[in-house]
């Protein structure tokens, strides 16, 4: 495929990924209302349709990560093939880890609809559900952040998109690379866990629109050649 085609596919996929991610987050919170695990299980028991939609959105997000990895690699490989391949590998890891989380929501739904009257079985179901419902977004997101850092740096170094936009991508990505492992390790809490995503959201939306309307310039290595 041409660079223009890859840019347009990447731009469309960015927007699809963002929409799927936000929708999935809203549906998941709505389906698992309550503070205690028992309350969450009771809530999700009557949300079969929402669970099905969450599964489909999980597939959309997993394949979006893979598509972005391939298209961004194709766009940036002429600038530095090794860094571009590393970025592709990180986005593939993100997609695979995200895809592996899909059975978890189905397991929680099964536990919520098959709960019996036996106290020991109910306690075991709540323990398993508590593990599956833990906030585990930081793990695939860390792979995303590293891949985003590499691709943003290559876009910047190759002057393939506006410099200010590329710098925003680098800064937003590095912020996540620093914060996400701290969150996963339990050292970082509070509003920053949400606010740290705002620069990345702005960057990806603007980048998606730029790729769809303007595409990407040839990298500086191509110009030099």
- Calpha distance 146→90 (Å, rounded): 7
Give the pLDDT confidence of 135-149 residue by residue, as tens digits. 678 899 999 999 999
Nearest by Cα to 179 from 150, 144, 131: 144
Residue that the structure tokens 């978890």 belong to: 104
Is there a contact between 96 and 63 (Cβ–Cβ < 8 Å)?
no
pLDDT at 113: 76
Q: pLDDT by residue (tens digit) across 167-178?
A: 999 999 999 999
Q: How far apart are the first and last CA of the chain?
A: 21
pLDDT value for 118: 57
| pLDDT tens sequence across 78-100 | 999 999 999 999 999 999 999 99
* Of 5 and 224, the one with more pLDDT: 5
Which pLDDT band, with edges at 50, 70 and 90, does 56 fall under?
A: very high
Residues 102 and 16: their CA atoms lie apart, in Å, by 18
Please state, rounded to an integer, the average pLDDT across all residues of the chain. 90
Q: What percent of the chain has pLDDT over 90?
A: 63
- Report the distance separating Cα 70 and Cα 162, nearest Å: 22
Confidence of residue 224 (pLDDT cuts 50, 70, 90): very low
State yes or no: pLDDT of 35 exceeds 90.
Answer: no
- Record the tokens describing residue 142, joined without a space: 């860390």
DSSP 69-137: HHHHHHHHTTT-HHHHHHHHHHHHHHHHHHHHTHHHHHHHHHHHHS--S-HHHHHHHHHHHHHHTS--T
Q: Which residues contact 121 (CB under 8 A, 6 or more apart)?
A: 115
Contact 59, 99 (CB under 8 A): yes
């Amino acid at each position: 495929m041409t660079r223009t085609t890859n840019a347009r596919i990447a731009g469309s996929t960015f927007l699809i990924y963002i929409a799927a991610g936000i929708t999935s987050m809203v549906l998941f919170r709505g389906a698992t209302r309550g503070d205690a695990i028992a309350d969450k299980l009771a809530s999700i028991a009557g949300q079969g349709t929402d669970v099905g939609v969450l599964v489909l959105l999980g597939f959309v997000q997993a394949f979006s990560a893979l598509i972005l990895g391939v298209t961004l690699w194709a766009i940036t490989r002429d600038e530095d093939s090794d860094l571009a391949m590393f970025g592709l590998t990180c986005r593939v890891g993100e997609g695979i880890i995200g895809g592996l989380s899909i059975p978890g929501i189905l397991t929680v739904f099964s536990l919520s609809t098959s709960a019996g009257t036996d106290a020991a079985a109910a306690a075991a179901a709540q323990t398993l559900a508590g593990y599956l419902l833990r906030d585990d977004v930081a793990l695939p997101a860390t792979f995303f952040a590293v891949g985003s850092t590499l691709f943003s740096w290559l876009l910047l170094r190759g002057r393939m998109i506006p410099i200010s936009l590329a710098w925003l991508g680098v800064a937003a990505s590095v912020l996540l690379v620093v914060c996400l492992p701290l969150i996963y390790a339990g050292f970082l809490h509070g509003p920053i866990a949400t606010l740290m995503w705002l620069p990345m959201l702005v960057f990806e939306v603007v980048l998606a629109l730029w790729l769809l309307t303007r595409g990407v310039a040839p990298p500086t290595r191509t110009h030099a050649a």
